[in-house]
Structure 1
Amino acid sequence: MDTLIQIAQILFILSVLVILHEFGHYITARMFKVRVEKFYLFMDAGFSLFKKKINDTEWGIGWLPIGGYVKLSGMMDESMDTEQMAQPAQAWEFRSKPAWQRLIIMLGGITVNIILAFLIYTIMFSTVGQKYASTELSQKKGLMFGESGLNAGFKNGDKILSVDGKVQPKFNRMIIDVLLGDKVEVERDGQKQTLTITDEQKSKILGSEGKGFMMPRLTEIYVDSIVPKSESDKAGLLKGDRIVKANGQSIKFYDELSTTLQAKKSDSIQLTVLRAGKEILVSSKVTPEGKIGFRPASQDKEDFIITNKLSLLQAIPAAVNESYTQFIYNIKQFKLILRPKTEAYKQVMSPIGITQKLPTEWNWEFIWGFTAMFSIGLAFMNLLPIPGLDGGHAIFTIAEMITGKTLSIKAAERVQTVGMIILLSLMALTFGKDIYAIIAKNFF
């Protein structure tokens, strides 16, 4: 059931984004009297789930949920319709229109994506409010780090003051800043220190804990769940137990317990727990990995959340700023992907991978927030100057406006072929990686 909810969410989000993106192309094409032959949600390779022709346009739903398209008369696109392009140009065709009109049509989908994000943020900020996890509140008692974070030079209890000289008030965004930045200023034992995060260290962080490599420091260590047949299970640790001592030493933070466990690999440990108001001793073996097999209860995230209630007039500039900021983060993340030593390219996910990360409960606030963020991401991706994407078409159109020269049909065909090979190769790699990860997780 949980998986079905995740699938339903990604299909809803993709449907909204694809329909509105393609509508941006459709409405601008119709505005300049270009004939739209097809308007499809999802790809109809081989066959379609539904189709109906209304006037000159065939409206349909494809079976492959990886995008969608509009087919414009007289345009070299994914259909590779060279036969039509070999015929004399007609007044209703895309190729017959002035370059500036064709450019507007090409950028129509991107424009709608940006407008959609702006509208969603405006509505959300003026209704449920502008919500974010506060950096100040999240690290009030310091931060704790996973193994990759500790290896990068962080220490449990550090407070991050700035990244590349900039203070970030939003905690979730600050985590991303650390992965995208180079110099991190921390407060450690009352002193300021500057850490330099290398690409190799970022690679290890991204390949292990990811964004979870740092989190608010857990206090009052309660057992949330026990891994079946684990050392904790064998030792008699119970859900609800509060761990207060390890080998007779008081434990204040969860990371202190983790450090003790790492020091006792393949050994044993004696825990003092509070159960029903009484102290009980529990002796457990420690695995070679420094684990005993329980999950701690996380702190209530609401303790760190700040909600700014905005009026409609306040929400409009805030939505513009949020849309712009999201676009800038897409640029920064793309730069990170292009740095081979970070191996960030390995973290690129297909819709299958994204589905695995979605919540297992239907939450409209999350869905619309994710849709807005994804919409900006889709706009950025389509702006990339890759043949086959809107940005690729736009680059050649701009070049034509500057030089006055157009690509020949043969050259356009070659460019489109190269673009399709690039896009299909990238899709095959990302889909294949995510499918393999699911298989490995469930069967190996």
Structure 2
Amino acid sequence: MSEERGTRVEDEAARLDAADELRALREEFVLDGDEDGTPVVYLDGNSLGALPRSVPARLADVVEREWGRMRIRSWTESGWWEAPERVGERVAPLVGAAAGQVVVADSTSVNVLKALVGAVRLAREDDPGRAEILVDATTFPSDGYIAESAARLTGARLRAVPAGEIAGEAGPATAAALVNHVDYRTGELHDLPGITAALHRAGARAVWDLCHSAGALPVGLDASGADFAVGCTYKYLNGGPGSPAFLYVRRDLQPRFDSPLPGWNSHSEPFAMAEGYVPAEGIARGRVGTPDILSLLALEESLKVWERVDAYGGAAMVQVREKSLALTDFFLRRVEAHVPAGRLTSVTPGEHARRGSQVSLLCADEDEAGPVMKELIARGVVGDFRHPGVLRFGFTPLYTSFADVEAAARVLGEVLRERP
């Protein structure tokens, strides 16, 4: 036990932090202690990312100058009107998409509905007999609710299938599949290129939920040939609570994309106030109504942090992925050292190819997860838990340090040893 109690592990964490190519980015975020001064190790970026330091000043300028003094002129003079596509261009390289294929607007749920109904309609243009939607059986609940609604809207039948089995289950009746890239409970990473290719071989369309992967690992939407993708921006992209989601529509599909929500903002001539709907060209047809400018521009400022990564875009995500895996490897090793045997089991895959950027630990006593997480938070280690009995720890490579990881594992061990 001397190794755990002494300085060797602390020295190892310090060496890893010193060698971290992304370590300077930590200073770009507000990671101070709680209001009472308690130091905080923040491992809940998979639910809400930390605040980039430059955002408050930018948001104050938007409110005080652009809204307060320029008022309606800001739609044109401050670029508010183009913001959904402009911010989409900042997201695009982080998910492996070329320009002109990502728009930022609306919520994740709204964008899932657009993408899934649009995917079914596309599939039926090619083969009217396709009457089935597949959905990841362990999907985030909201995605499941939306999939049920999409099935009703399109007259399709919905079938839940484990994500790992979707490739084999897709057949001649399948119109589209909605799949989570990373499982929100377990942190398991699913095979986006392989599942997409299998769906295409079956003549179906692939819709991906990137909420737990965008900003944490390479996605490669263009390289995989994905049809549609949706993701939130308040997790690893640090856009703030309720920041608008993004929608990806592959370029060659955009002329055929028939959104179930044709709003005035996606009209080809939005200010003509025409009675009939004519969709805009390109990714702008993914818009619906008036964008949430305050949240959208806060997100735009947040995304500027990525410009400080050595190589913005795909190469940056390689750096981020390497650190993510190193953080989660270190955490799993330190949990094993600190936590009493038999109290926790990792439900996150050990293999790098199947792991996202979180670690989920199942409590032997499932009822213990809530109280344990409450005590961790009281002691300055912030994660969260999900029923039944899962403690979740999210690792945001832009600001999480190896010293954070060691501290979190140590406090977790202390809490569990103190409990009967």
> Normalising by the residue count of structure 2, what TM-score does the alignment of the two structures yield?
0.26
Of structures 1 and 2, the one with the larger relative CO (CA 8 A, separation 6+) is: 2
Bigger Cα Rg: 1
> Which one has the bigger strand percentage?
1
